[in-house]
Structures are given as structure tokens and as C-alpha cells.
């Protein structure tokens, strides 16, 4: 009985893994072979969800795969998020964290306030607004996927939010390097902080930093932008429990409501991975086995998260997404502008008062 319970999920997990493999192949062809980058700036996870949506809406997904796809969306997703913590080294951020951390906090608070006002004005679903806001302010697709199970977002809401974030993230990735160079007069620190704070996805930040490096010969900017983005990613630890509390607050029909019941415990695994990375780096400096372990866990996180995206895509009905209308895209666009404008104002304020 116990064995059969887990055997039934295998076909769906295998299907999600096959789509991951196809997505990675397409990503390499587009980003490396066609565009000429050493590392593709395109999100493999986004390709996975698009492939999943394509096949899921053309073909009927059999019941044989459904339990495994559900398992992938709910459990393998969480394992992927936990593994993601191994890439974060917050103790390295202290050098310019005094600028980056307040900048990130101000941007997060500003977007949350703006989106809170837009929810009432445009009358979009609260869960959709939460997904778009955390995707815009923290770490794009990963933040959306991590928050979705906490606020019980539907598959279609997740897909819509990811499409939203990806669209505006790509726009900012292509435009902001040139705008930042002009506005901040080729100052690496300021340009790096702006790119790392105002662009949604880690891969998009890296791509924007690479574009800037190649166009304006500034490798320092790429490093600052990437580290700033990783600082933003650590705010996932705070934002997921916060959103869980905000979303469930006031739901008096739940007699057992408490922060203990709604707390996303996989976040503790994420924190544990961060601690493990920092302890390991201290104990096993220059140890090749430790470096291989880190790289293995990083690779596993990408595989697990992309499999979850494929599973989401396969379960997404495009007709349901169309029925949600255009208003969430307006919210996504305003969120992108808000992050960019607040980032500029904050950097300018810092320059005025502390230099």
C-alpha cells in the first residue's frame, strides 16, 4: 500500500523531467548557438512552462500522469527552493550592503503599497497581486513559485504571474543597461545597484550586467549587480512568511488559524542551506569535493524548479488565463516602473546625504 502510493507519482515526475531536458536543450540552442552568449540569458524555467502549456493545451494529459505532476508542483518545487539556498553567501555582502539592503527594503515596501492601492482600483484577485508584487520585488519566478503554495494560488494564477514577470523582466533587461549608463554616467557601483535591484530575475540581472560589461567595458558592474540580486533573493526568507500572514489574516472561518499553521516550513530548509554554505566555506576552503558538492546542489535546484514549472505548464488552461483579462498586466507594468523609479530616487538620496 505504502509502495503503491509512491509508485503512482513516478510517471508524472518522469514526464516533468523529460520537459526539463527539452527546455534545457532549447535554451542552449537559442541562447548559446543563436544569440552567441557563453551562458544563455533566457530562463530555462520559462521555456519549461511554455512547453508545458503548449503540450497541455494541445493534448489531453492522462490521469496516469496527474498525481506525479501534482507531486512535482507541490513537493519537488519545495525541495528545489531549499537547494537554492546553497548559492547564497550573505556574509560577503557587508562591503556595500549598507547601500544595497536599505535600497532593496525601500523598493519592496514601495511596490507593496502601490499594488495594494491597485488591487482596490483595478479589482484584481488578491493572490494574483501578491504573486506579481513578490515576483517584481524579490526574485522573479522563484519567488512566485515559492509563494504560490503558501497563499494557495491556482495553477492559472501562477502561470499568469510568471508570464507577467517574464515579459517586463525581459524589457528591463534589454533597456536598463543603456539607460543606467546614461543616467548614472558610467559609475559601476550605481549602475550595478540599479540593475541588481530593478530587474526581476537573477538570469535577467546577469544578462543585463553582461550586456553592460560588453558594451561599456565594466566587469565590476556585472559583479555588483549579481551580488545585489543575491541580496534581494535572501529577502524570500522574510517575504514568504509575511505574505502567508497577510493573506490568511482575518480569515476567521478557520478555527485553527495561527502563524504556526500557515508558516512555510520549507523556508527553514532554505535558511539551513545558507548556513551550511557559510559553515562549509569556512571549514573546507579550497576543497574540491566541497566545491563539487555546492555545484551539484545548485544544479539540482535548477532541475527541480524547472520540473515544477513544466508541471505547472502542463496543468494550465489558456482559456482560463484569457478570462483573467489585461488588468494584472497593468499591475506588472506599474510594478516594474515603481521599482525602477524608487531605485533611482533612493540612490540619488544616498549620494546627496552620504557623499
Q: Is the dihedral of CA 54, 159, 35, 23 positive or negative?
A: negative
- Give the other-Cβ count within 10 Å of 178's Cβ: 14
Q: Which pLDDT belongs to residue 128? A: 85
Is 21 part of any domain? no
pLDDT digits (tens, 9 = 90+) for 41-52: 666 776 887 888
Higher confidence at residue 101 or residue 37? 101
Question: Coil, strand, or helix at residue 243?
Answer: helix
Q: What is the pLDDT of residue 94?
A: 56
In a domain, 346, yes or no: yes
What's the grid cell of residue 45?
Answer: 524555467
- The full DSSP string for 74-100 is IIIHHHHHHHHGGG--GGGGHHHHHHH
pLDDT at 354 over 70: no
State the greatest distance between any 2 C-alpha atoms of the chain, in Å, as a whole number: 68
Residues contacting residue 110 through CB under 8 Å, at least 6 positions apart: 338, 339, 342
Interval 72-83: pLDDT, tens: 887 887 888 788
Which residue, among 266, 210, 221, 222, has the nearest Cα to 240 in the 3D structure? 266
User: Rounded mean pLDDT of 15-44?
Assistant: 81
Interval 99-140: pLDDT, tens: 788 888 888 888 888 888 887 788 788 888 888 888 888 878
The number of distinct structural domains making up the chain is 1
Spatial CB neighbours of 133, under 8 Å, sequence gap ≥ 6:
111, 112, 115, 335
Q: Give 268-300 pLDDT, tens digit per residue.
A: 787 788 888 888 888 887 788 998 999 999 889
146 in a domain, yes or no?
A: yes
pLDDT bin (cut points 50, 70, 90) of residue 186 is confident
Is-contact 201 166, C-beta < 8 A? yes
DSSP letter assigned to residue 34: I
**Residue at grid coordinates 539551513:** 272
Q: Give the Å distances, CA to CA, from 103 to 73, 80, 232.
A: 33, 28, 10
Residue 137 in contact with residue 339, Cβ under 8 Å? Answer: yes
The yes-or-no verdict on residue 17 having pLDDT over 90 is yes
Q: What percent of the chain has pLDDT above 90?
A: 7
Is residue 308 included in any domain, yes or no? no
Burial profile 25-44: b = 16 or more Cβ within 10 angstroms, e = fewer:
ebbeeebeeeeebeebbbbb
pLDDT of 257 strictly over 50: no
* Cell numbers found for residue 284: 573546507
Domain ranges, residue 162: 89-301+315-354
Find out whether 8 and 67 touch, Cβ atoms under 8 Å. yes
Query: Which has more pLDDT, 41 or 193?
Result: 193
Reduced to 3 states (helix: H, G, I; strand: E, B; else coil), residue 203 is helix
**Is residue 100 one of the residues assigned to a domain?**
yes
Structure confidence at residue 243 as a pLDDT band (50, 70, 90): confident
In angstroms, rounded to a whole number, what is the distance separating the alpha carbons of residues 210 and 350? 26
Of 221, 264, 222, nearest in space to 242 by CA: 264
The answer to whether position 59 is within a domain reads no
Q: What is the pLDDT of residue 252?
A: 47
Instruction: Show the CA angle centred on residue 15, arms to residues 10 and 19, nearest 5°.
Output: 145
Residue 14 confidence (pLDDT) above 80? yes
Query: Is residue 244 predicted with pLDDT exceeding 50?
Result: yes
What is the distance between the alpha carbons of residues 158 and 161, in angstroms, rounded to a whole number?
Answer: 5
The set of cell numbers assigned to 339 is 521599482
Q: Is residue 114 part of a domain?
A: yes
Does residue 322 lie within any of the structural domains?
Answer: yes
**Per-residue pLDDT tens over the stretch 301-341:** 888 888 887 887 887 777 766 766 788 888 888 888 888 89
Q: Given a cut of 60, is residue 170 above it in pLDDT?
A: yes
For 48-72, how does the pLDDT look when each residue is reduced to its tens digit (9 = 90+)?
A: 878 888 888 888 878 788 888 888 8
What's the pLDDT score for residue 22?
Answer: 93
Helices (H), the chain: 2-7, 10-27, 44-58, 63-71, 77-84, 94-122, 126-134, 140-151, 155-183, 188-198, 202-216, 219-234, 236-248, 259-262, 266-283, 288-314, 318-322, 327-354
Amino acid at each position: 500500500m505504502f509502495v503503491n502510493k509512491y509508485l503512482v507519482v513516478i510517471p508524472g515526475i518522469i514526464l516533468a523531467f523529460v520537459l526539463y531536458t527539452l527546455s534545457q536543450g532549447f535554451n542552449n540552442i537559442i541562447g548559446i548557438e543563436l544569440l552567441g552568449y557563453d551562458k544563455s540569458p533566457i530562463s530555462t524555467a520559462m521555456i519549461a512552462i511554455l512547453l508545458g502549456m503548449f503540450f497541455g493545451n494541445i493534448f489531453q494529459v492522462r490521469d496516469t500522469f496527474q498525481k506525479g505532476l501534482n507531486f512535482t508542483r507541490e513537493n519537488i518545487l519545495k525541495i528545489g527552493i531549499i537547494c537554492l539556498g546553497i548559492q547564497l553567501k550573505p556574509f560577503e555582502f557587508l562591503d556595500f550592503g549598507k547601500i544595497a539592503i536599505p535600497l532593496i527594503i525601500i523598493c519592496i515596501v514601495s511596490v507593496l503599497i502601490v499594488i495594494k492601492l491597485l488591487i482596490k482600483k483595478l479589482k484584481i484577485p488578491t493572490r494574483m497581486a501578491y504573486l506579481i508584487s513578490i515576483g517584481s520585488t524579490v526574485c522573479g519566478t522563484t519567488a512566485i513559485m515559492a509563494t504560490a503554495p503558501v497563499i494557495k494560488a491556482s495553477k492559472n494564477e501562477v502561470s499568469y504571474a510568471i508570464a507577467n514577470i517574464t515579459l517586463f523582466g525581459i524589457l528591463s533587461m534589454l533597456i536598463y543597461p543603456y539607460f543606467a549608463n546614461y543616467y548614472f554616467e558610467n559609475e559601476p557601483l550605481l549602475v550595478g545597484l540599479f540593475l541588481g535591484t530593478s530587474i526581476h530575475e537573477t538570469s535577467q540581472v546577469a544578462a543585463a550586467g553582461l550586456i553592460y560589461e560588453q558594451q561599456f567595458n565594466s566587469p565590476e558592474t556585472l559583479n555588483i549587480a549579481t551580488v545585489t540580486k543575491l541580496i534581494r533573493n535572501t529577502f524570500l526568507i522574510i517575504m514568504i512568511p509575511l505574505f502567508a500572514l497577510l493573506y490568511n489574516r482575518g480569515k476567521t472561518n478557520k478555527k485553527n488559524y495561527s502563524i504556526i499553521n500557515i508558516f512555510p516550513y520549507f523556508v527553514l530548509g532554505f535558511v539551513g542551506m545558507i548556513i551550511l554554505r557559510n559553515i562549509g566555506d569556512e571549514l573546507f576552503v579550497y576543497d574540491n569535493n566541497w566545491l563539487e558538492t555546492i555545484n551539484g546542489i545548485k544544479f539540482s535546484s535548477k532541475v527541480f524548479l524547472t520540473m515544477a514549472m513544466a508541471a505547472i505548464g502542463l496543468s494550465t488552461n489558456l482559456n482560463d488565463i484569457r478570462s483573467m483579462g489585461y488588468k494584472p498586466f497593468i499591475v506588472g507594468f506599474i510594478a516594474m516602473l515603481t521599482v525602477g523609479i524608487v531605485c533611482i530616487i533612493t540612490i540619488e538620496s544616498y549620494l546627496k546625504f552620504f557623499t
